[in-house]
Structure 1
């Protein structure tokens, strides 16, 4: 063991991981008989030499963020390879003889222009973790289910519309990420993966969630955000282990009464829907810690909300609430509450019982004052009464209510003035394609506009310069530009070189299947766009890779990067 540690210690910090190497350093090959781990992250390597594949003791090969365009067939000689990371390259396919790497258990190949998997890939029977996010997959091999040891399968940001029936054989699968694909319905085969604990189907085109999803009794995390779901089947109550349910940005008009049977739920997000009411059974979610029902059409909250004794964060922004139930005062563990942009005219005295409140947003309502019980909120660090408020806390003063003569709290911000409808006008409503195109042409420039003021400036003995900065496209917009170009020139090359961009942008979700970029792309622009995107690819934004630890309940993705040592 001492020899091995000394060897690895000599290899890893060998000053070849500074992002400058265009070839695999030759000195590495002097250890080809004993080399077990090789890290070549973030360099400029375009090709792997044949001699590298003589290192038959290699167990871990990490070459992400390079300029590789293919994976040579000689990889078949690495019969002891267990972990392979080729993410963020320009690799278009796996060689079929990768099936010879029978020891492979982890493959990370995200952010590559891979369009399909060879049949040989399904013979990697020891594979437990497969990451193929942000690629160009349109389907999986029919016998994909042969990979029966898979525990983690991530296929986010591809072009998948269906799943092979054989996937039901993935009896050990615990995490499945199919977010940002092209599913229009929930694949029926998923209900047969009984050990599934985490399921991502966000940012697809799902319209309904069938009751069969209730068969996933081990499911803990379910993300169905950014779809077109109009209804949620009552049988979702069968997901008795569910802890996190994300239904944001859909078209839900109501929640089933059975949602109260999800006793282990800690996070419920139903914001950006069309809900007009919440079921009383929501009060049965006794373990709920985070509840977001913002951006709906709610006129009231059920009094049973007072049973949510473990609630920590509550948001009901942009609804039509005119009052709060007095029972909300029982939610004494809430630290953050946001009720922005409603029609609240008064608050109940019981809100003073929420003594752990630290942040309270009441801006854009119709409040005339605050109840005197606010003086009990000793931990309050931020009280927002206006969007234009300059400080988190504005001093309050006591005065008598003009009608009841009871003591109330007020300051110069009361009474609140309601906004007018035009204040909510979206920027997209006034979108001007011609102006957008003009700005796009100048997006990388800074304009100086001071010619007209030259005479005045000479008199004042000073020069005033107006700088105009034009906005940069969102990463998702940039990615859509790439796809448009790719459709014109075919899929023979990877349009982004070694990287692609990803973003949570979901423009016009309910009116279009895909966001169509408003700019025209003429044939003469193809060469320019390809060269520009390839030039900037090494600096583009990359989708965060997820942790490969199946025991970790992933709510927030983390960068899956292998640490590089330096001398």
Structure 2
């Protein structure tokens, strides 16, 4: 009986809270309230100013999407000091004030996708205990170490679809807790051997859609927890034989749509049974140097996705042949037991 009364009281309390809160929601926004959280979503193109009127101080999630906001200040955000999630998605922001995040001590996730940001003030993230940061689809040409504090708490950083030509070890040295790093669809042309040296907790690294032509043998030597490595849609012509040597937990490797003609001996050896790879869209030369990949495909078909699409580009007599379907004679190697 007491339990029933308690549940009834809680239900009435939440109903009353929602009833009272329903009268306080900014124009052009939708609000959701409960006893434990409050969320505001504003997604109307006619919204040109920060929706300060009607915001309650207990708001924990604020999402402003596809608007013409163009500017935001610390004074605006001081109205919602309990925010742990802030999304400013395609809101035409070209700059952000240095003190913006200082009024949000509980901020966990910041999503700035689809703006016009080119630069950020020094120490911009120093006042926020951020764990998730999304900077996707902006206009950044550089990612500066000066934006972040030493030993940042970030675990997820998405810098995809910008104009980055390089990424510095100095920046990533400040982000030792990263588990997910997305640098896809930039114009990265080269990676220094120590770029990812300090990322000992990294599990997912996305470098797809860049301009990489080669990788150093020790590029991933310190990323022992790496599980997913995306290298597709680059211009990789060859890979070091020891590139994956330290990655004993690697489960997913994408190398499709590169310029690989063969793989070095030992590259894919020692993989877990759960390991999967995609190798399609490369100009495989089905001659002597193809022996290693041919054998590996034959022995490990369960580890390869779309194996039927791994085909020869040369020589002309083998063009479009599936690599795994070839024999020793066609490859010009001596017959031997696999």
Q: Same fold (TM over 0.5)?
A: yes
Q: Does residue 281 of structure 2 align to residue 359 of structure 1?
A: no
1:247 maps to 183
How far apart in 1 are the matches of 2:331 and 2:167? 48
Structure 2: gaps spanning 5 or more residues: none
How far apart in 1 are the matches of 2:331 and 2:214? 34
How far apart in 2 are the matches of 1:297 and 1:397? 26
Q: Does residue 126 of structure 2 align to residue 192 of structure 1?
A: yes
Label 1:175 to 1:252 Cα distance change in 2 as closer, same or farther (>3 A).
same
How far apart in 1 are the matches of 2:72 and 2:185? 28
Q: CA deviation at 1:202?
A: 0.3
Q: Does residue 200 of structure 2 align to residue 260 of structure 1?
A: no
Label 1:284 to 1:331 Cα distance change in 2 as closer, same or farther (>3 A).
farther
1:203 maps to 137
Q: CA deviation at 1:247?
A: 0.9
Q: Does residue 252 of structure 2 align to residue 313 of structure 1?
A: yes
Count of paired positions = 315
How far apart in 1 are the matches of 2:324 and 2:264? 26
Native 8 Å contact 2:29 2:41 kept in 1: no
Q: CA deviation at 1:185?
A: 1.9
How far apart in 2 are the matches of 1:288 and 1:92? 43
Native 8 Å contact 1:221 1:242 kept in 2: yes
Label 1:126 to 1:6 Cα distance change in 2 as closer, same or farther (>3 A).
closer
Q: Does residue 18 of structure 2 align to residue 60 of structure 1?
A: yes
2:104 maps to 170
Label 1:83 to 1:177 Cα distance change in 2 as closer, same or farther (>3 A).
farther
1:108 maps to 40
What TM-score comes out, normalization by structure 2 length?
Answer: 0.78
1:319-358 CA-partner distances (Å, limit 9, x unpaired): 2212212232123345321112223221414566757615
- The equivalent position to 1:283 in structure 2, one of 221, 224, 230, is 221
Native 8 Å contact 1:281 1:304 kept in 2: yes
Label 1:118 to 1:322 Cα distance change in 2 as closer, same or farther (>3 A).
closer
Q: Secondary structure of the equivalent of 2:269?
A: helix
Native 8 Å contact 2:261 2:282 kept in 1: yes
Native 8 Å contact 2:104 2:128 kept in 1: no
Structure with more of its chain in helix, by fraction: 1
Native 8 Å contact 2:166 2:188 kept in 1: yes
* Aligned alpha-carbon RMSD (Å): 3.8
Q: Does residue 281 of structure 2 align to residue 341 of structure 1?
A: yes
How far apart in 2 are the matches of 1:296 and 1:324? 16
How far apart in 2 are the matches of 1:324 and 1:398? 18
Q: Summarize the alignment of residues 293-332 of structure 1 with structure 2, pairs less than 5 Å apart.
A: 293-302=231-240, 303-327=242-266, 328-332=268-272
How far apart in 1 are the matches of 2:135 and 2:107? 16
Native 8 Å contact 1:307 1:331 kept in 2: no
Label 1:365 to 1:131 Cα distance change in 2 as closer, same or farther (>3 A).
same
Label 1:317 to 1:132 Cα distance change in 2 as closer, same or farther (>3 A).
same
Native 8 Å contact 1:314 1:337 kept in 2: yes
Q: Secondary structure of the equivalent of 1:284?
A: coil
Larger Cα Rg: Structure 1 or Structure 2? Answer: 1
What TM-score comes out, normalization by structure 1 length?
Answer: 0.49
Q: Secondary structure of the equivalent of 2:277?
A: strand
Label 1:365 to 1:156 Cα distance change in 2 as closer, same or farther (>3 A).
farther
Label 1:402 to 1:335 Cα distance change in 2 as closer, same or farther (>3 A).
closer
How far apart in 1 are the matches of 2:69 and 2:152? 29
Q: Summarize the alignment of residues 421-460 of structure 1 with structure 2, pairs less than 5 Å apart.
A: none
Q: Secondary structure of the equivalent of 1:217?
A: coil
